[in-house]
């Protein structure tokens, strides 16, 4: 076994690897960028090496610096985690050439499966079913459009490199093909450095079911059952579960046999995932699944497999890379219970899941698992950490396990409702709503479920009078939340009249005014405009947090956040108003589709903003004439004015 390894990654997965390595007595070396100097994975590792500036191209994608760090610290092997360099065969070659061990598959295996078109031809030759489509080399639009017509609409344009839903477009009609192809190519180029695509038949009721496989260097390969990852938005996974709901013995055998066959076809070593697309229009049938791609690394959702099998996949990775045989045979791997994983992100579901940034002023996960379940929290952040615009905005993965699907799903919903995060908008409320959706609960899920129900799933109830009153009390400073607050010692004391304070809260553009009166003995009366007086006690402030200029109240998984205006601050920030459009997040202006002086209509695409390697179209919010528009290639921050209008034209 290795005595020291370097982890060529950051955040949650780096922390995950460190945890197993520590249990096995293996020392760890972390690498970090400028933005991650104080990150959790850096603090947890035995050693840490700075490798560059915050952008990934200057740090986590610098394989040369990572290898130098490994050699300088005496690490014997490099664990790539997922993302970044984990599926880069050139990096694997460099690691091996430097006399180090890559904790993962060989460069040859990664190359065999790295390009979706070549991988599908290989799988066809190995007898693994593949989805109908065009996987050839020709990339001219005339050829691709012709193949799309042959396949039959709707079709799916997919980047042949990478994954994670990037470089992917569904096309319903031939007229939409050129624009969809251009968008997919741009996104693929930005994410993977390769703009080549393939075209496939779009399955009308698709489920995404994948099989965890594991191989060693002695020709052995096993599966660890399947995971269902059909709950997706924009082709990115949201909630994963294992096993797949509705799975039959015949279907499982067909899929797992095909997955092991695929792994053996490329002499695979290490952890890998064979992803299948399943036509669920007539239930799960052994003749209705097709190979999509292989992820030649550990998956983000690997904890659900660990929960149902009791296997530590990171430990297996280390053992196999160190030259050991697989710890268990296929017959020794058993499936027990049901597990879910929910990915908690800093993103705004009500704004089409736009990535968000911010400081995690409050971060609290349930102290214990709901009754009858087990729970684990996978995270790479702590309270007080910042969500950076440079990296994936995942905050944590909440994983639960119970004896069956229904209690496991109940445990997931309960744990989500008891998770409190403030300082950045998150998707927790959306995840809790999805966990309680009737179709999802029934196992009737496909990759379009979230899209069909997005409005209902992302709808946030307006705060009721009690929630607003709790926020007003916290903002008033009259409670004893902070022992340093001079008002705390005066609570309830007055010669003639109750102590009272006026509070102004803002939620979005709406101002909420309240009057808070201390009545003694930890009791308060809060009067709100338009509502009867609300009686509160100190205990009612549980689930309420405040930080400079803000207060958040948690209820049923939702963080109701209010801003508390500074009465001494200038009120004049009048520059833009309705006459301009601002960037909804930090990003790069990738493409500009309008110019100064253009008359544009409401809904017309004006520019494309790239953030987190995904493209977001910024469309006109009203008719108008453009006075100024951002330049292509401009790097903008959240709130930067992108478009300014000289005149509004009534519709």
Profile the chain (651 residues) by mean pLDDT over runs of 10 residues.
98 98 98 97 98 95 98 98 96 98 97 84 88 88 95 92 82 96 93 90 91 97 98 92 96 96 96 95 89 94 98 98 98 98 95 89 95 97 92 96 98 97 95 97 94 94 93 82 47 58 88 88 87 88 90 92 72 50 81 91 89 77 90 81 75 44
Tell which residue, 17, 216, 258, 281, has the closest CA to residue 127.
258
The answer to whether residues 100 and 91 touch, using CB atoms and an 8 Å cutoff, is no
What's the confidence (pLDDT) of residue 235?
81
Distance in angstroms between the alpha carbons of the first and the last residue of the chain: 71
Q: Give the Cα separation of 296 and 213 in Å (integer).
A: 10
Upstream peptide bond of 624 is cis (omega within 30 degrees of 0): no
Strand order, beta sheet including 544-547? 534-537, 523-528, 510-520, 500-507, 558-563, 550-555, 544-547
How many Å apart are CA 627 and CA 632, to the nearest integer?
Answer: 16
Can you read off the two tokens belonging to residue 13?
Answer: 């997965």
Is residue 409 within 8 Å of 340, Cβ to Cβ? yes
Q: What does the DSSP assignment read for 331-361?
A: GG----SEEEEEEEESEEGGGTTEE--EE-S
Cβ neighbours, 10 Å, residue 141: 12
Give the Å distances, CA to CA, from 24 to 20, 158, 318, 449. 6, 40, 10, 41
Q: Which residue has the tokens 């050699």?
A: 71
Q: What angle do CA 572, 621, 582 make, to 5 degrees?
A: 45
pLDDT of residue 433: 96
In Å, how far from its chain's centre is CA 365? 17
Beta strands in 463-557 (DSSP E): 500-507, 510-520, 523-528, 534-537, 544-547, 550-555
Cα separation, 68 vs 91, in Å, equals 13
In angstroms, the CA 338 to CA 307 distance is 8
Residue 159, CB-side half-sphere exposure with 13 Å CA sphere: 25
Residue 490 CA to chain centroid, in angstroms? Answer: 46
The question of whether 297 is a catalytic residue gets the answer: yes
The one catalytic residue in 297, 343, 405, 470 is: 297
pLDDT of residue 494: 54
Return d(Cα 567, Cα 341) in angstroms, integer.
Answer: 44
Phi, psi of 122 (to 5 degrees): -65, -40
Place of tokens 């009078």: 465
- pTM (whole model) above 0.85: no
Query: How far is 341 from 379, CA to CA, in rounded Å?
Result: 12
Q: Tell me: the pLDDT tens digits for 219-277?
A: 999 999 999 999 999 888 999 999 999 999 999 999 999 999 999 999 999 999 999 99
- 625-642: b (≥16 Cβ within 10 Å) or e: ebeebbeeebebebebbb
Beta bridge partners of 382: none
pLDDT attached to residue 577: 44
| φ/ψ of residue 110, rounded to 5 | -65, -40
Q: Report which of 643, 551, 555, 567 is spatially closest to residue 606, judged by C-alpha positions.
A: 643
C-alpha–C-alpha distance, residues 318 and 503, integer Å: 57
Using CA atoms, how far apart are residues 533 and 543, in angstroms rounded to an integer? 21
Instruction: Find out whether 230 and 449 touch, Cβ atoms under 8 Å.
Output: yes
Partners of 176 in beta bridges: none
Contact 591, 632 (CB under 8 A): yes
Is cis: bond before 102, omega within 30 of 0? no
Whole-number Å distance between alpha carbons of 234 and 169: 9
Task: Give one DSSP letter per residue of 240-309, joined into a string.
Answer: EEES-TT--HHHHHHHHHHHHHHHHHTT--EEEEEEEEEE-BTB--TTSEEEEEEE-S--TTHHHHHHHH
- What stretches of 436-511 show up as alpha helix (H) in DSSP? 438-441, 449-458, 465-476
Angle between helices 141-151 and 177-192 (to 10 degrees): 110
């Amino acid at each position: 076994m290795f005595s020291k390894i370097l982890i060529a990654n950051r955040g949650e997965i780096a922390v995950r690897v460190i945890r197993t390595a520590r249990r096995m007595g293996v020392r760890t070396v972390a690498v970090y960028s400028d933005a991650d100097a104080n990150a959790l994975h850096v603090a947890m590792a035995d050693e840490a090496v700075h490798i560059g500036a915050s952008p990934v191209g200057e740090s986590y994608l610098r394989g040369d610096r990572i290898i130098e760090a490994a050699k300088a610290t005496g690490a014997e092997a490099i664990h790539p985690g997922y993302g970044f360099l984990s599926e880069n065969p050139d990096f694997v070659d460099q690691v091996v050439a430097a006399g180090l061990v890559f904790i993962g598959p060989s460069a040859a295996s990664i190359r065999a499966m790295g390009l979706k078109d070549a991988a599908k031809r290989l799988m066809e030759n190995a007898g693994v079913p593949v989805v109908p489509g065009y996987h050839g080399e020709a990339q001219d639009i005339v050829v691709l459009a012709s193949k799309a017509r042959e396949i039959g609409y709707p079709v799916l344009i997919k980047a042949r490199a990478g994954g994670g839903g990037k470089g992917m477009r569904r096309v319903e009609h031939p007229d939409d093909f050129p624009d969809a192809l251009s968008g997919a190519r741009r996104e693929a180029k930005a994410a993977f450095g390769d703009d080549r695509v393939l075209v496939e038949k779009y399955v009308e009721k698709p489920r995404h079911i994948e099989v965890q496989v594991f191989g060693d260097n002695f020709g052995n390969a096993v599966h660890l059952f399947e995971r269902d990852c059909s709950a997706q938005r924009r082709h990115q996974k949201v909630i994963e579960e294992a096993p797949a709901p509705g799975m039959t013995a015949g279907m499982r055998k067909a899929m797992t046999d095909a997955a092991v066959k695929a792994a053996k076809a490329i002499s695979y070593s290490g952890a890998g995932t064979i992803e299948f697309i399943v036509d669920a229009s007539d239930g799960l049938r052994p003749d209705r699944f097709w190979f999509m791609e292989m992820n030649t690394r550990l998956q983000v959702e690997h904890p659900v497999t660990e929960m149902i099998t009791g296997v530590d996949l990171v430990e297996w990775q280390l053992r196999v890379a160190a030259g050991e045989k697989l710890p268990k045979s296929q017959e020794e791997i058993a499936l027990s219970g049901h597990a879910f994983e929910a990915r908690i992100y800093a993103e705004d579901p009500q704004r089409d899941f736009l990535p968000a940034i911010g400081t995690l002023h409050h971060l609290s996960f349930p102290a214990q698992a709901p009754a009858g379940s087990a729970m684990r929290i996978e995270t790479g952040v702590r309270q007080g950490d910042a969500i950076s615009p440079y990296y994936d905005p995942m905050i944590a993965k909440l994983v639960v396990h119970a004896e069956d699907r229904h209690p496991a799903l109940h445990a997931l919903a309960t744990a989500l409702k008891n998770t409190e995060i403030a300082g950045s908008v998150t998707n927790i409320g959306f995840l809790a709503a999805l966990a309680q959706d009737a179709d999802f609960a029934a196992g009737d899920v496909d990759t379009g479920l979230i899209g069909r129900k997005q409005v209902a799933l992302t709808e946030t109830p307006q705060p009721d009078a009690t929630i607003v009153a709790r926020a007003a009390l916290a903002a008033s400073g009259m409670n004893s939340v902070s022992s340093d607050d001079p008002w705390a010692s005066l609570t309830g004391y007055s010669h003639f009249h109750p102590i009272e304070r006026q509070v102004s809260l803002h939620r979005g553009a709406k101002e909420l005014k309240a009057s808070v009166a201390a009545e003694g003995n930890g009791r308060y009366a809060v009067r709100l405009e338009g509502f009867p007086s609300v009686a509160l006690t100190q205990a009612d402030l549980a689930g309420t947090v405040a930080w400079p200029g803000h207060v958040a109240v948690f209820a049923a998984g939702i963080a109701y956040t209010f801003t508390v205006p500074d009465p001494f601050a200038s009120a004049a920030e009048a520059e833009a108003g309705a006459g301009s459009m601002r960037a909804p997040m930090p990003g790069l202006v990738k493409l500009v589709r309008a110019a100064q002086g253009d008359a544009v209509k409401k809904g017309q695409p004006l520019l494309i903003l790239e953030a987190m390697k995904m493209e977001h179209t910024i469309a006109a919010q009203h008719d108008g004439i453009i006075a100024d528009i951002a330049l292509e290639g401009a790097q903008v921050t959240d709130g930067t004015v992108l478009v300014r209008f000289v005149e509004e034209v009534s519709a």
